[in-house]
Each structure stands twice: as C-alpha cells, then as structure tokens.
Chain A
C-alpha cells in the first residue's frame, strides 16, 4: 500500500530533550516536506526536500533540523524542544511530475 508513515504518532517530552520524528514514504517520491499545524494558523511549512541531500527552509524553520540521506526517509529533529513547539506535525511527499501531496497520519507533540 502506497503510504507515508510517521513515528511516533504521539509524544510527550520535556523542554530541552532532543527528539526525532521519523517520516518514511514507499512511493519513490522526490519531494518531501514537514508541516506543523496549530489552531487558527493552518499548516505551516517547516522544511522541504527536493531530493537526497537537497533541503531548504520553509516558513517556520527555527528550532528544527532535517536531513535527507535516503530518498524514502526525511526525519525531523528537534535539538532542544521548547513548549512553543507543541503542535501537530505532518510529513508529506509528492512525485516530481505531480502537484498532489500525500500526507502522513501526523505526530502530536507536547513539550512541557
């Protein structure tokens, strides 16, 4: 089944404790993105990647890191999480010849 998977789905952590949210897609998509969703603000792009080893900042990259060492994986790293990073995070991917993005199921992160 073609899909985008994220792990973990739910995470409660404390300020300053490094964490990684994994994202994997099995559709051989070139493009991958990370978004955060907050009430009243819609979806905001954090980082995106156009292919292996090619990443760039979205609109809200502060406090986040990403890497794209393999085409299928695009992990999101929070080196020192803070409470204002409490949010619902979505990973998405798409094929280069299409505009349609496929979203993962989301990761709900709470930083206390």
Chain B
C-alpha cells in the first residue's frame, strides 16, 4: 500500500519553513526520504528506523511517529536549492520499497 504524502505541492519564499508529511495505513518499520530535482534522479536524504532517533542534515530534519504510522520532513529556513519533489518510501518486506506520490516544493527568491 502506497504511503500518502501531504501536501501535494507547496510554494515558499526563501527563508520560510516547510513540513512534508508521510502517512501509512500499515505499521511502519522505517521511512526513507528522497529528493528529486527537476530532470534528475532521486537522491537519498535520510532514513528513520523504528525506535531510532530523529535524523537531521543541516537544516533538513525528520521525525518518525510509530504510533501514528507517519513521518514528517522539516525544512528550516529553506534555500533555493531545496526546490524539488520529495518522496517518502516505506518498506514492504526486505528490499521492497513503496514510495509515496511525492510532494513538489517550490522555493521562490
């Protein structure tokens, strides 16, 4: 079952914050986050494991709420380079990764 991402799209000005949510109807053991810039391949951002700590990289961090079966990606003080489509992925058994439909993030100067 494909995880559901919200919002589907968001437009921000440079310096504003954004939150992207990823929800699953099934129990989550891990959540993977990728970013895909227009015309490029997806690039791995981070993974959150069940029982693990909140992950972060510079001004991009994420949380994982096992009880609510959801993860949130936080982009703080967004930069132009953050523009792209963000995908969350959940594991459906070993090696089977199911991605959400994506959230398009546009950062304007």
A residues with CB within 8 A of B: 31, 33, 35, 40-45, 48, 50, 56, 58-59, 90, 99-106
Cβ of B102 within 8 Å of any chain A Cβ, yes or no, is yes
- Is the CB–CB distance between A90 and B99 below 8 Å? no
CB distance from B72 to the nearest CB of A (A): 18
A56 to B94, CA, bound (A): 11
* 9 residue pairs A–B, Cβ–Cβ below 8 Å: A42-B101, A42-B102, A43-B99, A44-B99, A59-B96, A99-B30, A99-B32, A99-B44, A101-B34
Please name all residues of chain B whose beta carbon is closer than 8 Å to the beta carbon of A101 when the two chains form the complex. 32, 34, 42, 44, 97
Interface class of chain A by DSSP? strand
Which of A48, A99, A100 touches B96 (beta carbons < 8 Å)? A48
Cβ of B64 within 8 Å of any chain A Cβ, yes or no, is no
Please name all residues of chain A whose beta carbon is closer than 8 Å to the beta carbon of B97 when the two chains form the complex. 33, 45, 101
Cβ of B95 within 8 Å of any chain A Cβ, yes or no, is yes
